Amino acid sequence: MTFPDDFPITRRWVPAHPDRLQLYSFPTPNGVKVSIALEETGLPYEAHRVTLADADVKSPEFLSLNPNNKIPAIIDPDGPDGEPLALFESGAILIYLAEKTGRLLPADPAGRLHAIQWVMFQMGGIGPMFGQMGFFVKFAGTAVQDPLPRDRYVGESRRLLGVLEGRLTGRDWLVDEFSIADIAAAPWVNALDFYGAKPLVGFDDFPNVAGWVERFKARPAVQRGMNIPPRG
């Protein structure tokens, strides 16, 4: 098998190291989940910068890997049974990397499922709600005169922060050890700074969440992964 010939995306984003896991991403809250996980596990990988512009994410090459035209996505040349694996959706990729390396998930079955449930909490709640809030707060601005959409997403984001605040009472991480649950959720909470939304959601009311994000950002692998691939 010739690795590039089997995956059209590699004709545009040509791998310098086709024997390594290939990451196609951009440093958004979803994108950095995977680069952080890769830095934490130490898996050799090669990062390719795929911007959010239609010319990149809606290109035929990228759509051949992810028909939903969203970053991140990966190709692992050493997937299950030694065969290449193409994968999209950040939550699925996090679970795959954790299972592949035996890291970032608790070893006991119950702990593993508890970590995955918090990944799903981020995927179904924090990501969509914070993302929509960010659109109305930072990007739509006065173009939307009706305050109801913004207020709805601000209120729901605050509610979700309250769920995290309760979970983090008396604990450092979302489960008993640092895991893909933290990697999934913390970049989205950190994005409240980028959106300029902390005052709107009353972030000061959530000291457990604030401490958790700071612990997360203090990890060397997180600091590296937050900037991979570079924005430009």
Assign a CATH topology to domain 109-221. Answer: Glutathione S-transferase Yfyf (Class Pi); Chain A, domain 2 (1.20.1050)
CA atoms within 13 A on the CB side of 170: 0
pTM: 0.95
Distance CA 140, CA 122 (A): 23
Q: Which helix (H) or strand (E) holds 198?
A: helix 198-201
Q: Count CB atoms within 10 A of the CB of residue 197.
A: 22
pLDDT band at 1 (very low <50, low <70, confident <90, very high): very low
If you classify domain 3-104 with CATH, what class do you get?
A: alpha beta
Distance CA 80, CA 19 (A): 15
pLDDT at 232: 78
Give the pLDDT mean for 177-192. Answer: 98
Structural domain boundaries of the chain?
3-104, 109-221
Tokens of 56: 């990149």
Lowest-confidence region among 6-10, 85-89, 145-149, 207-211: 145-149
Lowest-confidence region among 147-151, 180-184, 190-194: 147-151
